[in-house]
């Protein structure tokens, strides 16, 4: 407290007490002069140079109270990004909110791809990765690689390597193979290679990915890749923005729906069929060779698949044939043949429907996927059927994609 009748001079800011009864007067400008600059510390000659006192003489400057002398300018505060050597986004540029650290290197992935046209297989050799982004508290990661074919990514066409523990430079040297890859797939499909961090206590974390259009591959020529991983930007829609906060899996589901479009169906695997019209026996010989990458329908991650065939229209319902059941597999081999006795001219008006089912004990069987071959089919299915009619006594093997939609009238078939 200032005694009554005594005014406080401008040079007096606040009073501090030392020993009892003693009072020290400190200038308020000097009391509050704290250097808060985030940049490099620069030498300060005198605090009073930044807060000049009002009064005569060279030190007071003769200026108005609070003005800084012209010979010393206030210390300019540099932006933190400029001090750290980072670049700031240009005016009007959108800020990526997916990851706050856009300058962090995600790492590099080395792999080989080989398309074998003769066997309709795509060989993916996952070799190694270098300099992956740390994902765990110990500064390391537990990385693994998973593959999808786009569009139509689902569990049926997912392939996965083993997990390498506590490393940022994993070495896998694993060969993953896609069966049933046709020339049409090479033209339109894209291989997505994602590197993730396995976390046993919570959800696995996404590190980065690479997308390779299969049209870059030449038949029977191995192509080597050593590419930096990239992060995918979530879709700019309200639903995707909220889903992105819940993880990369939600984002990928919506991304695939956008890429597939409304007219494409979910892929449920591939089936290898053999067709041949026998002139001697006067009938169609249908061979169920094998299936690959079937969708898992059971809780154990597998299915118990079998195949049924019908020749439509089938008024008498006598055209059904059925293979045996293969237990706990997503890549069954059947090697079974069925015969339909019919003239070639009549066969040209028919449609062969092939459906794959999962056998369940005590309840209805689950539909996995199906395909129709006939004059009303499209793409490879129609071409396979026409080639069979035009080349009798010749066995023609082709791969076909199983889709989630039942062929016409297949939904009314008994499940057994």
Q: Which range, 204-208, 247-251, 310-314, has the best average confidence (pLDDT)?
A: 204-208
The predicted pLDDT at position 49 comes to: 57
Q: Which CATH class is domain 107-229?
A: mainly beta
The predicted pLDDT at position 225 comes to: 94
pLDDT at 259 over 60: no
- pLDDT band per the 50, 70, 90 thresholds, residue 201: confident
Taking the C-alpha atoms of residue 347 and residue 340, their distance in angstroms, rounded to an integer, is 9
Least confident of 41-45, 194-198, 199-203, 221-225: 41-45
> Strand 108-116 to strand 283-292: parallel, antiparallel, or no bridges (unpaired)?
unpaired
Taking the C-alpha atoms of residue 398 and residue 275, their distance in angstroms, rounded to an integer, is 9
Taking the C-alpha atoms of residue 114 and residue 405, their distance in angstroms, rounded to an integer, is 31
Average pLDDT over residues 374-403: 92
pLDDT at 414 over 50: no
**Of residues 44 and 137, more confidently modeled:** 137
Average pLDDT, the chain: 76
- pLDDT band per the 50, 70, 90 thresholds, residue 85: very low
**Dihedral, CA of residue 24, residue 27, residue 28 and residue 31, to nearest 10:** -80
pLDDT at 61 over 90: no
Give SS3 for 170.
Answer: coil
Assess contact for 334 and 324: CB atoms under 8 A: yes
CA angle 407, 294, 111 (to 5 degrees): 130
Taking the C-alpha atoms of residue 166 and residue 141, their distance in angstroms, rounded to an integer, is 5
Burial of 170-199, coded b for 16+ CB within 10 Å and e otherwise, reads bebebebebbbbbeebbeebbbbbbbbbbe
Strand partners, 145: 195
Architecture category of domain 269-402 in CATH: Sandwich (2.60)
pLDDT digits 0-9 by tens, 1-28: 445 545 444 444 445 555 555 666 656 5
Taking the C-alpha atoms of residue 349 and residue 236, their distance in angstroms, rounded to an integer, is 48
Structure tokens at 125: 């050799």
- pLDDT band per the 50, 70, 90 thresholds, residue 299: confident
The predicted pLDDT at position 361 comes to: 87
Assessment of whether the complete model's pTM goes beyond 0.75: no
Burial of 306-323, coded b for 16+ CB within 10 Å and e otherwise, reads bbbbbbbeeeeeebebeb
- The residue extents of the domains of the chain are 107-229, 269-402
pLDDT digits 0-9 by tens, 274-297: 999 999 999 999 999 999 999 888
The predicted pLDDT at position 244 comes to: 44
DSSP letter string, 48-104: HHHSPPSSSSTTTTTS-TTPPPTTSPPPP---HHHHTTPPPPPTTPPP--S-S-TT-
pLDDT digits 0-9 by tens, 338-363: 999 989 999 999 999 999 999 988 88
Assess contact for 337 and 287: CB atoms under 8 A: yes
Rg (CA), the chain: 36
**Of residues 416 and 133, more confidently modeled:** 133
- pLDDT band per the 50, 70, 90 thresholds, residue 396: very high
Assess contact for 240 and 229: CB atoms under 8 A: no
pLDDT digits 0-9 by tens, 110-142: 999 999 999 999 999 999 999 999 998 889 999
pLDDT at 75 over 80: no
* Count of C-beta atoms within a 10 Å radius of residue 239: 10
- pLDDT band per the 50, 70, 90 thresholds, residue 262: very low
Least confident of 115-124, 222-231, 268-277, 404-413: 404-413
Percent of the chain with pLDDT strictly greater than 70: 63
Percent of the chain with pLDDT strictly greater than 90: 45
pLDDT digits 0-9 by tens, 320-335: 899 999 999 999 999 9
Exposed, middle or buried: residue 20 (CB in 10 Å: 0-12, 13-18, 19+)? exposed
**Side-chain-side CA neighbours of residue 127 (13 Å):** 12
Taking the C-alpha atoms of residue 275 and residue 284, their distance in angstroms, rounded to an integer, is 7
Taking the C-alpha atoms of residue 116 and residue 219, their distance in angstroms, rounded to an integer, is 6
The torsion angles phi and psi of 80, rounded to 5 degrees, stand at -60, -35
Least confident of 122-126, 237-241, 396-400: 237-241
Least confident of 68-72, 172-176, 311-315: 68-72
DSSP state of 132: P
Average pLDDT over residues 251-272: 63
Q: Which residues contact 115 (CB under 8 A, 6 or more apart)?
A: 121, 122, 123, 181, 186, 214, 217, 218, 219, 220
Structure tokens at 357: 């089912």
- pLDDT band per the 50, 70, 90 thresholds, residue 216: very high
């Amino acid at each position: 407290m200032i005694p009554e009748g005594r005014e406080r001079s401008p040079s007096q800011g606040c009073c501090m007490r030392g020993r009892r009864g003693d009072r020290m007067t400190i200038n308020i400008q000097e009391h509050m002069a704290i250097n808060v600059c985030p940049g490099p510390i620069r030498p300060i000659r005198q605090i009073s140079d930044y807060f000049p006192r009002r009064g005569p003489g060279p030190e007071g400057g003769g200026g108005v109270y609070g003005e800084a002398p012209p010979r010393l300018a206030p210390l300019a505060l540099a932006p933190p990004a400029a001090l750290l050597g980072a670049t700031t986004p240009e005016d009007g540029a959108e800020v990526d909110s997916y990851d706050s650290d856009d300058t962090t290197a995600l790492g590099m992935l080395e792999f080989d791809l080989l398309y074998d046209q003769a066997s309709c297989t795509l060989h993916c050799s996952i070799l190694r990765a270098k300099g992956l982004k740390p994902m765990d508290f110990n500064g390391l990661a537990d990385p693994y690689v998973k593959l999808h074919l786009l569009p139509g990514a689902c569990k049926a066409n997912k392939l996965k390597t083993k997990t390498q523990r506590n490393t940022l430079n994993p070495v896998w040297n694993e060969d993953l193979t896609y069966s049933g890859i046709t020339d049409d797939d090479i033209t339109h499909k894209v291989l997505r290679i994602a590197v993730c961090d396995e976390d046993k206590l919570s959800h696995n974390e996404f590190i980065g990915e690479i997308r390779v259009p299969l049209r870059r591959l030449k038949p029977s020529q191995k192509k080597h890749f050593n590419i930096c991983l990239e992060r995918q930007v979530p879709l700019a829609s309200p639903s995707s923005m909220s889903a992105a906060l819940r993880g990369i899996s939600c984002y990928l589901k919506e991304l695939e729906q956008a890429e597939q479009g409304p007219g494409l169906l979910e892929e449920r695997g591939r089936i290898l069929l053999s067709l041949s019209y026998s002139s001697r026996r006067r009938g169609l010989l249908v061979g169920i060779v094998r299936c690959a990458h079937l969708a898992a329908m059971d809780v154990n991650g597998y299915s118990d698949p079998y195949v049924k065939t019908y020749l439509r229209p089938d008024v008498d319902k006598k055209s059904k044939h059925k293979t045996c059941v293969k237990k706990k597999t997503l890549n069954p081999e059947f090697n079974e043949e069925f015969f339909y006795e019919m003239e070639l001219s009549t066969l040209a008006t028919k449609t062969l429907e092939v459906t794959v089912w999962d056998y369940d004990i005590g309840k209805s069987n689950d539909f996995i996927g199906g395909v129709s071959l006939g004059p009303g089919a499209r793409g490879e299915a129609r071409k396979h059927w026409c080639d069979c009619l035009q080349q009798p006594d010749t066995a023609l093997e082709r791969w076909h994609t199983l889709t989630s939609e039942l062929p016409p009238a297949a939904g009314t078939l008994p499940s057994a």
